[in-house]
Amino acid sequence: MPISHYIFSFKFTFVLLVHLIFISNAYTQSPKVSAVLVFGDSTSDPGNNNFISTPFKGNFPPYGRDFPDEKPTGRFTNGLLASDMIARYVGVKDNVPPYLDPSLTVNDLMTGVSFASAGSGFDPLTPTISNVIPLTRQLEYFKEYKTRLAAKLGKAKTMELVNNALYIVSAGTNDFVVNYFTLPVRRQKYTLPGYMDFVLNKEMDFLQSLWNEGARKIGVVGLPPMGCLPIVITLFSDNALLNRGCIDFFSSVGRTYNSMLQTKLNLMQLNNAQQGSRITYLDAYSTLYDVIVSQKYGFKEVKRGCCGTGLLEATILCNPKSITCPDASKYVFWDSIHPTETVYRIFFESTRSVIDYIVKG
């Protein structure tokens, strides 16, 4: 056989091998799921509050200033949320829309939606403060979502889609910052450790209910270092104008709660592992701590938001008349509560390996 034939055969085999490796790596880097379904508060609400009667809205400028077409969608930031980035990463859609958007088609629903509502929390009292959608109601919307899909796809295909979806749950900050620390009702009934147990039990009840409805791949976002939120510094510092450092007491609540949450999630995962479940903690605390306290990423401003003074402005106080910083990517916070798109991206990048683990379950 001519030597040229051996050379051709070798080249063909080599190219085929490289092609197979590329396909394998592509799958490894971007695992496929059926949909992304999101529950929680303003960290994952893409605009559900636009469709309810509440003052907690972000569907006006300067919100969305760096979103495509500078569109204020209802996201409480200047651009994308981490849930949008996760949806892009797993390849289901560019952005996760709000479930309450009446223009959504069945095809839109099939690849995922967010049920989250800014201002919500696990404590049933928390969403009543701002008249937003409780987590229990978000779960009811999810059941309705399944019914709508079943009418189109049938029950078997709907459950297959539901079982193979990626679920993101992000809430809890409002329970402490807006509810327990700001208002007297819960403090009169619960000590701080008692309230942490109360909220954690409500969170675990929600996750169990979600699992009962067919969720098998669940990422649960922990609390941030709450003492570093500009609004917390402003409201609870002795001299908020001069002393803009993080208040460790509030951040320590987040650390303790997150440790308790991880223990509970590990137990839930252990109990459901044989059924192909992945129920895993997503660490927001370390990301924000690295960004704010360790200043690992070199942000210009870590103590106040880009909108207005950055000390108190959020929702209607951050509005078209507000002056904003010229470059939000240099700021950790967009308003006095919510991170910028740049920080959401850092959080997303820090959780990619965990997302990979969840969706391969």
Q: Catalytic residue positions?
A: 42, 335, 338
- Per the DSSP assignment, residues forming a β-bridge with 167 are 37, 218
Query: Is residue 334 a contact partner of residue 322, using CB atoms and an 8 Å limit?
Result: no
**Tokens 């929600």 sit at which residue?**
206
The residues near 346 (Cβ < 8 Å, ≥ 6 apart) are 287, 291, 297
State the first-to-last Cα distance of the chain, in angstroms, to the nearest integer. Answer: 49
Instruction: Give the distance, in angstroms, between the CA of residue 345 and the centroid of all CA atoms in the same chain.
Output: 11
Q: How many Å apart are CA 68 and CA 355, to the nearest integer?
A: 25
Nearest residue to 109 via CA among 210, 35, 216, 41: 35
What ranges in the chain are assigned the alpha helix state H? Answer: 3-29, 82-90, 106-110, 125-130, 135-153, 155-163, 173-174, 185-189, 192-212, 230-236, 248-272, 284-292, 341-359
Q: How many Å apart are CA 130 and CA 120, to the nearest integer?
A: 8
Q: How far is CA 319 from CA 60, 62, 195, 323, 335, in A?
A: 7, 6, 34, 9, 10
- Give pairs for 186-190: CB < 8 Å, separation 24+: 186/123, 186/125
The residues near 114 (Cβ < 8 Å, ≥ 6 apart) are 37, 38, 39, 44, 45, 46, 48, 83, 96, 97, 98, 99
